[in-house]
Amino acid sequence: MKFTVVITTYNRLNLLKRAITSALKQTIPCEVVVADDCSSDETENYVKSLGNSVIYHRNGVNQGHAATVNVGVEKASGEWIKFLDDDDYLAPNCLEEMTKAILLHPTAVICSCIAAQVDSHGVELSRTPKFGTGLALSIPQADIHYGMLLELVPFGTPVQVACSRNAFLQSGGWDSQLDANCDDIDSWIRIAQFGDAIFLNQSLAYRTIWPGAYNQKLSLFKRLETNILMKEKIYALVNQKHISHIPKLENTKNYLVLHWSIVALQQRQLKVFFSMVYPAICSPVAWWMLLTAVLSRRLNFPNSRLQKLVLGTRG
């Protein structure tokens, strides 16, 4: 089984160097593709100076993040794709650990892991929570979208995720209309239609939290709007056996409104908070969903019924 690391970049040469180094220093051999969205800095010269160790593609014009991911995957020859944005990087054993898990679960089409959140100096701020117990968990396809809807199947950001190249192509690739605003989550939703999932309870990736991240430039209203769109897409794909157990869509929308209203309050965007929060603030179910989500993330105890389902321990 062969991995290709697809690194997307645009005018971030200093960060890109770290991402490339982390891919080239993997403990197992892999292909590295750098997809450059028409950078105007020295990116092209630097990557070409690396010779045959890296495959380089440069867009003729700026096409955006999603389109650049798609062309990077097109250039790849590996059976599995490891996504990597230029401001993130991988632990040396990331691909080795993912390969071990995938070989044990040949029906899987998507694999994710824990990521350490680091600042611009590489200092760890936090880690994404574990999911259940054990080092590697297999999630049956029929349970994936149900778990995603309840936010207990944590695929996460591109640095955490790898997928089958065939499943990626069958799913249609990343949607340029979303470009850097849940284009990754939208892709995971569609890829998960084609097989099972794996989650590794190992910290194998580093996600940089800094003001220059693309999603930090989006308004909270836009992020809320796209989050709701993702939930609507997931609802449409939840397996029939779970339909009677999922919350109403309206309650889920109100829960998301509460979440982003609180983000606005934390950021002292009071005008946004008051414009956004009503009438969701009057929904007891939405408050309960928010409280449940916060507790499950902080205390790492997923809903017991869902845990039985996604961990394959049906009682």
CA nearest to 71, candidates 166, 161, 173 = 173
58 and 10 in a single domain? The answer is yes
Give the CA distances from residue 179 to residues 67, 139, 144, 175, 216, in Å, rounded to whole numbers and listed in that order.
8, 28, 24, 7, 13
205 and 237 in a single domain? The answer is no
pLDDT of residue 296: 66
> Is 167 a domain residue?
yes
Q: Among the three residues 182, 215, 248, which one is the final residue of a domain in this structure? A: 215
84-115: buried (b, 16+ CB within 10 Å) or exposed (e) per residue? bbbbbbbbeebbebbbebbeebeebbbbbbbb
71 and 173 in a single domain? The answer is yes
Which parts of the chain register pLDDT below 50?
301-315
Q: Among the three residues 149, 184, 215, which one is the final residue of a domain in this structure? A: 215
Q: CA-to-CA distance for 60 and 58, rounded, in angstroms?
A: 6
160 and 242 in a single domain? The answer is no
202 and 285 in a single domain? The answer is no
188 and 157 in a single domain? The answer is yes
187 and 233 in a single domain? The answer is no
69 and 159 in a single domain? The answer is yes
pLDDT of residue 216: 63
Q: Among the three residues 175, 196, 215, which one is the final residue of a domain in this structure? A: 215
What is the rounded average pLDDT for all residues in the chain?
Answer: 90
The pLDDT > 90 percentage for the chain reads: 78
The pLDDT > 70 percentage for the chain reads: 92
Domain of residue 254: give its range.
218-300
Task: Kindly report, residue by residue over 7-66, the tens digit of the pLDDT.
Answer: 999 999 999 999 999 999 999 999 999 999 999 999 999 999 999 999 999 999 999 999
45 and 147 in a single domain? The answer is yes
pTM over 0.75: yes
